[in-house]
Amino acid sequence: MNRTIKAILIVAIATITGCYYDSEERLYPVLYNPCSDTTVTFSKTVTTILQPCQGCHSNSNASNSGAGVKLQDYSDVMIVVSNGKLMGSVNHTSTYPMPKGGGKLPDCEIAQLQKWIDAGSPNN
């Protein structure tokens, strides 16, 4: 095989294998399973799940890009929990599925939100 073809093959293989990415959850499902955790709290679990939503749903952005929905603190989140919009949006069963233009949250995160709501949505 001539040198040019060998060089092309090496670059192609390096490019393909060098771009591989997988999540810890998929690589180590036994070691990394946040759904196995029975403790779901607002301060640790719910805020972590909703943190990416802050780009549109923070107190400073909600009127511009978040349709007036704020998810910055407990009282903000309780408004959308009480009216059913939070779970309708994350389950993609409402008129406004979230995240906007994206896929559903992972099933684990949806289950954790529901577990917190079922526990009475404590401010813990």
pLDDT per residue over 2-20, tens digit each?
777 776 766 555 555 444 4
Task: Identify the residue whose tokens are 């406004």.
Answer: 96
Report pLDDT digits (tens) over 73-114. 999 999 999 999 999 999 999 888 998 888 899 999 999 999
Report if pTM > 0.75.
no
Task: Identify the residue whose tokens are 């990394």.
Answer: 32
Q: Among 57, 61, 106, which Cα is nearest to 85's?
A: 57
Q: Which amino acid is at 122?
A: P
The answer to whether the beta carbons of residues 49 and 38 sit under 8 Å apart is no
* 48 alpha carbon, distance to own chain's centre: 9
